[in-house]
């Protein structure tokens, strides 16, 4: 069975980074208003970054995660594949429930009477802004991938990639900071729950069943 303390100690760099990110994000949300926080983060733009983030933000959609799952299945890393798929589906379900129960207009509608930086060619996936599904998806993926690797610096890279996707959602005027922060929380905690439930319940029971079957066969 997976020991929680041991798992946390092996992944202290990633989890410390996540903790610092969520704490600093919470403080930012407490000291700024919804519109003020968005305008502050969204204020810096360049043409190269526009092009980059239009493409990069797609790492947070479901297609990229499904491709990762298919690759893991093709390379017979079934444990990893099922966990990522489960975290993707569960976090996505939570996001959709919130989007359909807590309506929050996207920045384009919120600032309808005020000029904000908008880019052409951006497709809105629904009208409700809260929470960010892209951010939830990428943080769930990054958290599990960081747990699967033994290299703490690679796990830190996963965190930076996830943060960049979250930032892209505000940069592209798709979400508010609260949407992104909540999406990150959903992704991280869903991934943690899936990881520990899988190894401490599902995998443990499967291993026990296989062992019992082998023992019965020998007898």
**206 touches 111 (CB < 8 A):** no
Other CB atoms within 10 A of residue 191 CB:
27
Give Dmax (Cα) for the chain: 78
Dihedral, 152, 154, 160, 163 alpha carbons, nearest 10: -80
d(CA 184, CA 131): 9
| pTM attached to this predicted model | 0.89
Average confidence (pLDDT) per 10 residues, the chain, 219 residues: 70 94 98 95 93 95 96 95 97 96 91 86 76 98 94 94 98 96 98 89 56 48
d(CA 192, CA 180): 18
**138 touches 158 (CB < 8 A):** no
d(CA 64, CA 60): 7
Q: Residue 13: how many CA atoms within 13 Å on its side-chain side?
A: 14
**45 touches 171 (CB < 8 A):** yes
d(CA 99, CA 91): 12
Q: Residue 7: what pLDDT?
A: 75
């Amino acid at each position: 069975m997976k020991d929680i303390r041991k798992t946390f100690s092996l992944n202290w760099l990633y989890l410390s980074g996540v903790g610092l990110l969520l704490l600093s994000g919470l403080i930012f949300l407490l000291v700024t208003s919804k519109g003020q926080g968005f305008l502050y983060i969204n204020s810096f733009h360049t043409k190269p970054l526009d092009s980059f983030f239009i493409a990069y933000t797609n790492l947070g959609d479901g297609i990229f995660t499904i491709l990762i799952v298919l690759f893991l299945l093709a390379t017979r890393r079934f444990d990893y594949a099922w966990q990522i798929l489960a975290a993707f589906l569960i976090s996505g379900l939570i996001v959709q429930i919130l989007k359909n129960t807590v309506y929050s207009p996207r920045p384009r509608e919120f600032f309808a009477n005020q000029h904000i930086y908008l880019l052409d060619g951006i497709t809105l996936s629904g009208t409700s802004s809260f929470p960010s599904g892209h951010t939830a998806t990428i943080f769930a993926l990054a958290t599990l991938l960081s747990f699967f690797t033994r290299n703490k610096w690679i796990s830190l890279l996963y965190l930076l990639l996830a943060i960049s996707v979250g930032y892209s959602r505000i940069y592209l005027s798709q979400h508010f900071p609260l949407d992104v922060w909540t999406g990150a929380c959903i992704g991280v905690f869903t991934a943690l729950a899936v990881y520990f439930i899988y190894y401490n319940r599902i995998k443990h029971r499967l291993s026990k069943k296989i062992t019992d079957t082998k023992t019965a066969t020998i007898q």
